[in-house]
Amino acid sequence: MQVQTRPQQKSKLRDAIHWFRVRFFRTRSAKVGWVLILSILILVLIGPFFEPYSPTATAGAYDSPPSLSHPFGTDYLGHDLLSQVIYGAYPSLLVGLVAALGATLFGFVVGVLGGYYKRLEWVLSASTDAILSIPSLPLLILIGIIFVVTNQLIIGGLMLVLWAPAARAVRSQVASIKKLPYVDAARTSGYSDWRIIWQVIVPKVGSIAMAYFVLLVSVSIVLATALEFIGVGNPQIVSWGSILYFAQQYGFFAGDWWWVLAPGLAITVVATGFALIGFSFEEILNPRLRT
C-alpha cells in the first residue's frame, strides 16, 4: 500500500530551496555571517584578476607599512601582503572545507550507528570519548612531525580529531528519536533496520549534521592555521597560517603589525561568518535558545 504520494519534481526543488532558506537565511546573525563569507569569497575569487603582484615576487620595498600601492603592506622579502592573503586563502579554505566535510560525514555515520545499534554503542561511544579527551593540538603536532606534512595529511589529521563532537551530538539525537512511537510503528509495519535508519532517522538528524558541518568549517580553518603558525606545516605553500608563521618569526617583534593584521583578520572574518551561520542554524533547530 502506497501511503505517501510522491511529490512532483518541481515542488521538490522548491522544497529544497525553502528548506535551505529557512535554515540558513532566516536570522539576522546568519545574514551577517553570509555577508562576511561572501566578502572574503569575492576578494579571493576576483582578487587574482586585479592583483598586479605575484604572492611570491618581490613587489616593493621590504617591510613597508600599508600604502596606496600595497594596501596591506609588504613583508620582509618585499612580497605584497594583499596578494599573499588572497592566494593564501585557497589552501586554508580548501583544508577547512574538506576536513569539515569528512569529519561531519564520518561523525554522522558513527553517530547514527552508535545511536541505533545497542551492540555498537559501547565501542563507538568509547572511541568518541577517547578522541574527545585527547588534546587535539599536541596529537596533530605529533602526527605532523612524524610524517611529511601535506595538505592531505592535515586534512586527514583534522578529520581524525574533529569527527568526535559531531558523532556525539548525532548519537544522542538518534538515541532519543529511536524511542519515539513512530519508529516503533515503522518497525511493526515491517521496515528493516536499514530502512528505518535511512527513511526515518537520517532525515531527522540530517539538520544537526549540517549545523555541525558549518561550525566545524570554522573550527578546522582555525586549527589548521594554528598548526601552520606553530611550524607544523609546509612553509613553502602560501597560506594564511604560513604568512602568520613567517610574520611571527621575522617581523612581529620588529614591530611589523601590518604583517600580522591582514591574514589574522581574514581568518577571523571567515571563521566568524561560519560560526554565525552555524549558531543561527542551531538556534532554529533548538528554539529554546531564541531571544
Report the site for another protein in 147-176 (rule: CB under 8 A): 147
Decide if residue 236 touches another protein (CB under 8 A): no
Q: Which stretch binds another protein (CB under 8 A): 57-65, 78-86, 97-105, 268-276?
A: 268-276
Decide if residue 69 touches another protein (CB under 8 A): no
108 contacts 80 by C-beta, under 8 angstroms: no
Element (H, E) at 94: helix 81-116
Among 2, 68, 146, 181, binds another protein (CB under 8 A): 146
In angstroms, the CA 232 to CA 197 distance is 40
Decide if residue 142 touches another protein (CB under 8 A): yes
Min separation Cβ 120 and another protein, Å: 15
The pattern of x and - marking residues 102 through 131 that bind another protein according to CB under 8 A reads ------------------------xx-xx-
Cell of 126: 568509547
Alpha carbons within 13 angstroms on the beta-carbon side of residue 240 total: 28
How distant is the alpha carbon of residue 44 from its chain centre?
17
With vertex at residue 228, the alpha carbon angle to CA 227 and CA 230, rounded to the nearest 5 degrees, is 70
User: Which residues neighbour 104 within 8 Å (Cβ) at sequence distance 6 or greater?
Assistant: 163, 166, 209, 212, 213, 216
Decide if residue 231 touches another protein (CB under 8 A): yes
Min separation Cβ 223 and another protein, Å: 8
Decide if residue 38 touches another protein (CB under 8 A): no
Min separation Cβ 188 and another protein, Å: 33
* Phi, psi at 74, each rounded to 5°: -130, 160
The footprint of another protein (CB under 8 A) covers 29, 126-127, 129-130, 132-139, 141-147, 218, 222, 225-226, 229-232, 244, 248, 252-253, 255, 257, 260, 264, 267-268, 271-272, 274-276, 279, 288-289, 291
